[in-house]
Amino acid sequence: MSFVIRVLQSWPRMMAGPVVARFPPIIHHLQVAQGLPLPLAQCSTLLKAWMASDGSGRALVHDLIKLEVTRLLQQYQSYTGTNLLAATQSLLLLAIILLFGSNKTPAVSPSEGAQILVEMWDVKHRLANTGMFLKEEIDHVLPTWEDWAIVSAKRRTILALHHIEWVWSLLQGYPILTCFELAPLPAPSAGYLWSEIDEACWNRQYVDWLAH
C-alpha cells in the first residue's frame, strides 16, 4: 500500500517540474504535442502552485484545488473525446493531492474523500463509454499511432483510478473494491511502445509486437 501511495504521489510532482514537465505514465506525449489541453493546463498551474507553497499558502492552494475538482465534476459531461480524457486525468492528479497529500496527510476529510471518489466513478464510466478498444486491436492489425496512444491513455487512466480507489479504501479501513470491471481490460501496453517518439519506429515495433 505504501509503495502504491508513493508512486501516485510522484505523479503530480512530474507535472509540476520547474523546467521541462515530465508526464505521469497516464498521459501520452501525443496528447500534448500541440500544447496542453485546457484541463491539463489548469491542472499544471495548480500543481506548480502547490509545489511552491507551504504553510498557510499550501492551505490556500488546497482550497483552489478543491474548487477545480468541483468544477470538473460538475462540467465533465460537457466534455467529449480528448478533452474528456484530459479532464479525467486532471481530476486524477488533483485527487491525489487531496486524498494523499505529500506525506500521507490528506487535504480532505474521509467523508469528503469518499464523496470525491464516488463522483469520480461516474467520470470514469463516461470515459470508458467513449471506447476502450480499437477495431484494429480486436482484428490484430496495425492501428494509427494517435488512435492507439489515446485509447492506451484511457486504459492507463482508468487503471490508475482503480488504484486510487483501492489504496484509499485500504488506508481508510473501508471494504476493498473488487475491481470486477477490470476483467476485460488489457494490461498497460509495452513500455517501449508507449514511450516511442517516432511514428515510423512505432509502426515497426508494433508490427513486431503483434508477431509475438
Give residue-wise pLDDT tens across range 28-81: 999 999 999 999 999 999 999 999 988 778 889 999 999 999 999 999 999 988
pLDDT, one tens digit per residue, over 151-160 is 999 999 999 9
Q: Residue 180 pLDDT more than 70?
A: no
Residue 37's contacts (CB-CB under 8 Å, 6 or more residues apart) are 31, 82, 83, 86
Q: Average pLDDT, whole number, for the chain?
A: 91
102 or 138: which carries more pLDDT confidence? Answer: 138
Q: How confident is the model at residue 178 (pLDDT cuts 50, 70, 90)?
A: low
pLDDT of 103 above 80? no
Note the pTM of the prediction, 2 decimals: 0.93
C-alpha cell at 36: 496542453
Identify the band that residue 1 occupies on the pLDDT scale cut at 50, 70 and 90: confident
Rounded to whole angstroms, the Cα distance separating 146 from 161 reads: 23
> Are the beta carbons of 64 and 191 closer than 8 angstroms?
no
DSSP codes joined into one string, the chain = -HHHHHHHHHHHHHHT-SSS----TTS-GGGGTTS--HHHHHHHHHHHHHHH--HHHHHHHHHHHHHHHHHHHHHGGG--HHHHHHHHHHHHHHHHHHHHTTTT--SS-HHHHHHHHHHHHHHHHHHHTT-SS-HHHHHTS---HHHHHHHHHHHHHHHHHHHHHHHHHHHHTPPPP--GGGTTSPPPPPHHHHH---HHHHHHHHHHHHH-
Cα gap 50→68, rounded to integer Å: 13
The predicted pLDDT at position 69 comes to: 98
Helix-helix angle 2-15:145-172, to 10 degrees = 130
Domain of 184, in residue numbers: 2-211
The pLDDT score that the predictor gives to residue 17 is 77
Question: According to the model, what pLDDT value does residue 163 have?
Answer: 92
The percent of residues above 70 in pLDDT, for the chain, comes to 94
How far apart are the C-alpha atoms of 20 and 199, rounded to whole Å?
22
Cell of residue 104, nine digits? 500521507
- Whether residue 174 has pLDDT greater than 70: yes
Q: Which three cell numbers stand for residue 63?
A: 482550497
Tell me, what's the pLDDT at 139? 95
* Count of domains for the chain: 1
